[in-house]
Structure formats: C-alpha cells, structure tokens
Amino acid sequence: MGKFQFLLRCMFRRKLRTTLTMLSLITAFLLFMLLRSIAFVFDAGWEGVDEGRLQTQSKYSMIEMLPLTHIDQIANVAGVGIVTHSSWFGGVFQEGDTNVATFAVDPETYFDVYSEFEVDAEQLEEFRSIRTAALAPEPMIERYGWEIGQKVPVISPIYPTPSGEPWVFDLVGSYSSGNESDGFQAFLFQHEYLRETFDMGVAGWFVITIDDPSRSDEISAEIDKLFANSPDETRTMTESEAAKQFMAQLGDISLMMTGILSSVFFTMVLLTANTMIQGYRERTSELAVMKTLGFTDLGVATYLLLESVLLCAISAVIGIGLGSMIASSAQDFMPPFVPIYFAWQTVLWAGCIALGLGLLVGLVPAISAIRLSIVDALHRH
C-alpha cells in the first residue's frame, strides 16, 4: 500500500457519501465549463475578428439603417481599402423553430473584405450573378441536410414579402469561415434582391478594410466626421469592438454567468466542507492513532488537505472533460444566437477553482487535525 493508495482508501471510506459529493462537484464543473464557454464569447467578442477592419453603423442605434451613398464617401477617406455592406434580415428557415443569422450582403465586395472566408470561385461567381443566390456556411448546410442547387425558403419577420409567402433563395454554394468555432455562421444572400423588393437604398452597416490597423481610431474619427450633423450620423469602431457592443445589448451575460457560477460554487464549498468535516469527526480516533504511530501533526493535516484536493481534482477532471466535450461540439446543436466557444483558458480556470476549492474545504479538518491531542482523542474513544 502506497501513500496515494492510502489516501484513496480514506477518501472512499464512506463510498456513497463521497460518490454523491463527487457527482455534485462534477455537475458544478460541467456547468462551469458550459456557462463560461458561453460567457467567453461575450467577454472576448468573436475570436479571429480582424482588428484591421472597421464597422460603421448608425450613431444612435444598430437597427437604424444607413444610406448606401455613404459608401463612396467612406471609400475616399485616406487609409480606407475596401468598403462593403451588410444588413440584418432575421431569417427563419423552418417556421417558428429555427432562427438563423441571415445577412443581405454586397456579393461584389463582401468576400474581398472577409478575405479569410473561403469560397469556391465558381460558386462565388454564381452568387454574384444570380439575384436570388445564397451562400451558407458548411456546418449550416450539414445541419439542415441541404444540397447545393436546392431552393431554400426563408421567412423574415423584418422583411415579409408583399405576398406574405416566404422568400425563396437558390443555394449556390457554401463558404467556410476559416474558424468554425468563432460563432459566425450566417446565411448570405444578395442585398440587391432585398433592394429590388423593397426599393430601399439603405444597409444595416458598412464593413471597411484599412491599410494600417494602428490608425483605426484616427480613420474611424475621420469617417464619422464626414457625416456629423447629417440626418444619418455614423459611429465607426473596430469590428471586435462592434461585436462586443452587439453582445452587450443582450445584457451583461458574463456578469450573469459569474453570478450563477458563484452561487453554485459557494454551495459546493458548503457541501464539500460538510463532507470533509463529517469525515474528520468520524475518524478522530483514527487520526489520533496515526499520530501515535509517528505521523506528524503536519503530516496528518497534509493527508486531509490532499484528500479534499483529490476529491475536487477527480471531480473537476471528470466535469471538465465532459464539459469540454459538450462545449466543443455544442454549437452544432445550439442556435447561432447562443454562441459557445471552448477555450483552454476556461479549463485553466476550472483547474484553479478545483485546487482552491480543495484547499479551502480541507482547511478546517486540517487545522483541527493539527490541534488534535492524541491523549484526549484516545480517551474520548
């Protein structure tokens, strides 16, 4: 019997109690992984967002549209490369249950601005030439079991067709965002189709490439200055900043998640500490015997601390493992509006919490063990 084996034997002296405590901890760590994976996106914006891109939107609200005529003026600002536009369409593929990000975009410039997106040249050409053409990301095509060439009916609560029928798009191809875990999975179609139908000369926002990302503040100010005091004032910022602002509109998700997780782990501290203290009380005489045999005060306390750390560590490993598996594949099963991003930082945090929790709940029994008088404990026994 080695020291580790001895530790395990002591930890599982009450198998049911230890198992139930571990199940609670596993659930807590699983929850942590999932909630933090959601909160991560809200904290960080989308991973891989290019700091060399700016986004111009209405100064007052994201839902205010901007005239397409702004594009030429923006393109003339020094340092600006390509300007494209995009509009929120709010698509529902199968009535009622499948909200999917759907954007009306400029097919000529969109993939030049989002150069990291990969799209087949022939399919891109079709996308540009067919008015009703649409492109979808590969995971979305897989998810709905579509085939290239088929027609996709889409309902838009923002832009219902005059006839009340769904919009019908020709799925001409797919594109890959280059980073599937970034949460960006949008169904794209030609803005021209929307423009013709509603005779509108506006777009939701502009996306602009710039030559020098270090000048983003300066260029943003320059663009906004162009439209100051006009009926369509703008607000320009880096794309990552825009993503964060968009997330923030949903509320301080990160704070909510932190609140929930704090409550969960506070409960876990109480529950696990209770298990450890009960365990300590049950074997006071055994600890006294260990001391009698020559285990030092610190040695016995270390055993108790390691026991609680081990309890939390085993639970954390299982919880983190399950959570990681779910978080890394959950996006396929979640609506795109609930982005989940599995990050190693989350695992690291969970590991630190497990260690801290283990030390915290083991502290009281460990200190009690140091103070335990052999004579008194054996006398009571």
Partner 1 sequence: MALISLRSVSKTYTKGREQVDVLSDIDLDINERDFVALMGPSGSGKTTMLNLIGGLDHPTYGEVVVGDSSLNSLSSRELSRWRAQNIGFVFQFYNLLPVLTAQRNVELPLLLTKLKGRERKKNAATALDIVGLADRAKHKPAELSGGQQQRVAIARAIVADPQILVCDEPTGDLDRNTAEEVLQLLETLNQKHNKTIVMVTHDPKAAEHAKTTVFLDKGKLSSTSDPEQSELVNG
Sign of CA dihedral 265, 270, 275, 277: positive
Q: How far is the CB of 20 from partner 1 (least distance, A)?
A: 18
Q: How far is the CB of 8 from partner 1 (least distance, A)?
A: 10
The two tokens of residue 206 are 């502009």
Q: How far is the CB of 25 from partner 1 (least distance, A)?
A: 21
- Asked whether 305 and 363 are in contact (CB, 8 A), the reply is yes
Residues that bind partner 1 (CB under 8 A): 1-3, 6, 9-10, 12-13, 285-286, 289-299, 374-375, 378, 381
DSSP secondary structure, 49-75, as one string: --TTEEEEEESS-TTS-EETTHHHHHH
Q: Which is nearer to partner 1, 91 or 279 (CB)?
A: 279
Q: Which is nearer to partner 1, 75 or 298 (CB)?
A: 298
Q: Which is nearer to partner 1, 105 or 287 (CB)?
A: 287
The two tokens of residue 329 are 């594949």
Q: How far is the CB of 310 from partner 1 (least distance, A)?
A: 15
Three-class secondary structure of residue 288 per DSSP: helix
Q: How far is the CB of 358 from partner 1 (least distance, A)?
A: 20
Q: In angstroms, how far is CA 292 from the centroid of its own chain?
A: 53
Residue type at position 348: L
Q: Which is nearer to partner 1, 3 or 131 (CB)?
A: 3
The two tokens of residue 199 are 């005779």
Q: How far is the CB of 289 from partner 1 (least distance, A)?
A: 5
Q: How far is the CB of 13 from partner 1 (least distance, A)?
A: 5
- Asked whether 152 and 93 are in contact (CB, 8 A), the reply is yes
Q: Which is nearer to partner 1, 6 or 198 (CB)?
A: 6
Q: Which residues of 61-93 are buried (b: 16+ CB within 10 A; e: fewer)?
A: ebeebbebebbeebeebebbebbbbbbbbbbbb
| Cβ count near 317 (within 10 Å) | 15
Q: Which is nearer to partner 1, 13 or 281 (CB)?
A: 13
- β-bridge partners, 155: 92
Q: Which is nearer to partner 1, 123 or 285 (CB)?
A: 285
Q: How far is the CB of 368 from partner 1 (least distance, A)?
A: 16
Using alpha carbons, select from 248, 369, 321 the residue that is nearest to residue 26: 321
Query: For 13-166, where are the alpha helices, taking DSSP H only?
Result: 15-44, 70-75, 110-113, 121-129, 138-144
Q: Which is nearer to partner 1, 262 or 373 (CB)?
A: 373
